[in-house]
Structure 1
Amino acid sequence: MNAVGVVDVGSTNLSYAAATPAGEFLTAVESEPTRPDELCTQLERVVETLTAAASLEAVSIVTPGLVDADRGSVRRFDTADGDVIERIEIAAPLRDRCGLPVFLENDCTASALGEWRFGAREDQACVIQLTVGTGIGGGVVERGRLLRGETGGAGEFGLIPVAPDSRLESAGVTGAWEAFCSGRGIPSYVRHRYRVDEVWDENAVGEFRETLAADEEFAAPAVFEAAAAGDPFAQTCLDRVNRYNAVGIAALCNAYEPGLVTLGGSVALNNADWFLEGVDRYLEEYLFVDRPTIRESPLDEELGLYGALSVALERTE
């Protein structure tokens, strides 16, 4: 195999390139907004662009949601707005259109395979890749084998319950990790805590408190900005998020005993020092196994593309 078209479908943006099996990109990595309601049409156009630029032998696509890899479809696609699109057929229409093998895998699960082949792994036998972005997901690779689960649904790390007594939930799971600590969950958690928590500094002032009092919409970066500016309520909330992250990572470590945990996703990478320091502060309280190495993925924003490439190599091998 000389070239593979690799596509990383995110809830917000979609990126793509042509790559060699050695991990070299033959084209520039292009990006554009994801259009969930016409995803298959968008992917057809992307593949046409890639086939015009390189002599492809396969196409490999990674996407959020519940993926039926054998059928080549997405059973449930979660949009950036929190909406759900049921059943998107991808592989068959693309295969008919371009005449090439088309592989499909969950993006976070595939990223673990990308980390194993192209990322930070040295001599570790078990690697966990944890993506903390719009949601939380990831994957486990042990001795080169990606753990997919009974029906391909493994790696939904964001649904680990870290606060079972809370009223917050994600995908129907009460107290789910991503309901508190993901890019979508942090603002929701902060609003919830503002409404129900009576123990916070009433003298805290500033734009962030005014935003909360007015119940205005805001995203996760606003919470980090308020905390950096000294807002005590934002700082208290993010400290609790740190603890929940430690609980979630410890649960993964106790279950799989990895030698390496790598971090990806916008929340973890854009706030790397905060994330790593917070996990370091609380992890030992919940950890049974030996502490693994925990670090940012060196593959950065291309992690999903390397994951797609690794899926193609795994399927063809």
Structure 2
Amino acid sequence: MDQVAVFGIGSTNFRYGVAVPNGDIVTDVTVEPTRPYDLERQLVDAVADLTAAATEPLSGVAISCTGLVDRNRAQIDELDTTDGDTVDRIEAGRAIHEAHGLPVVVENDCNAAVLGEWQYGSRDDVDTLVHVTFGTGIGGGVVDDGRLVRGESAQAGEFGLLPVAPDSEVESTGVTGAWEAFCSGRGIARTVSRRIVAEEPETTLDTEVTAQDVFRAASEGDAFAQSFLDRVARYNAAGIGAICNALNPGLITVGGGVAMNNEHVVLDGIDRHLDDYLFVERPEIRISRLGDDIGLYGALAAFVEQRSEATVWEPTASERADTDD
């Protein structure tokens, strides 16, 4: 059976292992910090490690990565970093092929995640599946009748840029009032820090705060943190409601560190306020059952999809000649 090196690359963590098309991960999963400014070398070295660990020769490499990707060139056009910067044009496919001679698939992490849910998760008997990721940012993807919805320029699923607070001056990537500016891991931390400076509330939190600090303080009775997370819950419900009204999904799965580390707070908050924003029938909304490895399953699903469509990237003869020169 084919063995594929699979990667789930986020702004923070770089996960990898070897998987087979039926969805089994057949090696241990390695997790290390993402090195955004040295990612080509990090990938090449990790493929070497996986080549040694695999029981059969690798059939290819599949990468699920945050940011903007060019699947036709198997490259990452813009990689998001934890501090909000981006690294441009990471030629993952070329670097891996030059080092190991393997075909490469690169897919946006949110598109990959929903493909992974559709192929290997618990989609039950639905025609339209949505996945929403609450992590450093907020993103997602849609599969309708087995096909990934990519959009005109392959940028569909940028749910984090839905404007849930259009009257606010807060923005993300130029979108005023964007959902992720308030409710992502980065957005929660930045918004709370700004409010502490501006309002000087009575709170156990300080300006050097993380999203998890806010959830922890709320669980310990901090009234400021609790009030802020209730606002987050309303924004989350507005975002989910907009997705539902636009797409009418049968199931929404939720992932990402913010949601997975605070499952009941996030899902209960959405449930509490969703009817205020919902027109269509309410779908089931649940945490992804693929857990932290959803990026690996998504990468595998993207590889299987692109191989079936004969779109797995390999350099052309002219590109190989240019490299040799």
TM value normalised by structure 2: 0.91
Deviation at 1:229, TM superposition (A): 1.3
- Preserved CA contact (<8 Å) 2:193 2:209: no
Q: Does 1:248 align with 2:248?
A: no
Q: Does 1:233 align with 2:235?
A: no
* Aligned match of 1:126: 128
| 1:124-273 correspondence to structure 2 within 5 Å | 124-196=126-198, 204=202, 207-208=204-205, 211=206, 216-273=207-264
Deviation at 1:153, TM superposition (A): 1.4
Equivalent position to 2:72, from 66, 70, 73 = 70
Partners in 1 of 2:217 and 2:33 — Cα distance? 28
Deviation at 1:88, TM superposition (A): 1.5
| 1:4-19 correspondence to structure 2 within 5 Å | 4-19=4-19
Gaps of 5+ in 1: none
Deviation at 1:227, TM superposition (A): 0.8
Moved over 6 A (4+): none
- Preserved CA contact (<8 Å) 2:62 2:299: yes
Deviation at 1:314, TM superposition (A): 0.3
- Preserved CA contact (<8 Å) 1:69 1:152: no
* Aligned match of 2:33: 33
Q: How many equivalent pairs are there?
A: 306
Identical amino acids, percent of aligned pairs? 54
Partners in 2 of 1:7 and 1:93 — Cα distance? 15
Deviation at 1:195, TM superposition (A): 4.6
Partners in 2 of 1:292 and 1:27 — Cα distance? 35
Q: Deviations over 1:2-41 (max 9, x none)?
A: 1111011110110101011111111101111110000001
Name the SS for the 2:112 alignment partner.
helix
Partners in 2 of 1:296 and 1:167 — Cα distance? 31
Name the SS for the 1:82 alignment partner.
coil
Partners in 2 of 1:98 and 1:148 — Cα distance? 30
| 1:99-114 correspondence to structure 2 within 5 Å | 99-114=101-116
Partners in 1 of 2:198 and 2:158 — Cα distance? 28
Partners in 2 of 1:144 and 1:235 — Cα distance? 40
Deviation at 1:226, TM superposition (A): 1.2
Deviation at 1:197, TM superposition (A): 5.7
* Aligned match of 2:62: 60
Deviation at 1:191, TM superposition (A): 2.5
* Aligned match of 1:278: 269
Q: CA RMSD in A?
A: 1.3
Partners in 2 of 1:99 and 1:16 — Cα distance? 19
Deviates more, 1:273-282 or 1:88-97: 88-97
Q: Deviations over 1:265-310 (max 9, x none)?
A: 0001110000111001110111111100000111001111000000
Q: Deviations over 1:38-93 (max 9, x none)?
A: 00010000111111222210110011001111111112111011111122111122
Name the SS for the 2:21 alignment partner.
coil
Name the SS for the 1:31 alignment partner.
strand
Q: Does 1:306 align with 2:306?
A: no
Partners in 2 of 1:57 and 1:73 — Cα distance? 19
Gaps of 5+ in 2: 309-325
- Preserved CA contact (<8 Å) 1:251 1:287: yes
Partners in 2 of 1:172 and 1:154 — Cα distance? 17
Partners in 2 of 1:265 and 1:76 — Cα distance? 20
Name the SS for the 1:76 alignment partner.
strand
Deviation at 1:100, TM superposition (A): 1.3
* Aligned match of 2:282: 291
Letter in 1 for 2:101: G
Letter in 2 for 1:52: A
Deviation at 1:171, TM superposition (A): 0.8
Letter in 2 for 1:9: I
Deviates more, 1:237-246 or 1:155-164: 155-164
TM value normalised by structure 1: 0.94
* Aligned match of 2:319: none
Letter in 2 for 1:83: D
Letter in 1 for 2:75: S
Q: Does 1:24 align with 2:29?
A: no
Partners in 1 of 2:121 and 2:149 — Cα distance? 18
Name the SS for the 1:165 alignment partner.
coil
Deviation at 1:196, TM superposition (A): 4.9
Letter in 2 for 1:220: A
Letter in 2 for 1:92: R
Q: Deviations over 1:93-134 (max 9, x none)?
A: 212221111000001111000000111201100000111011
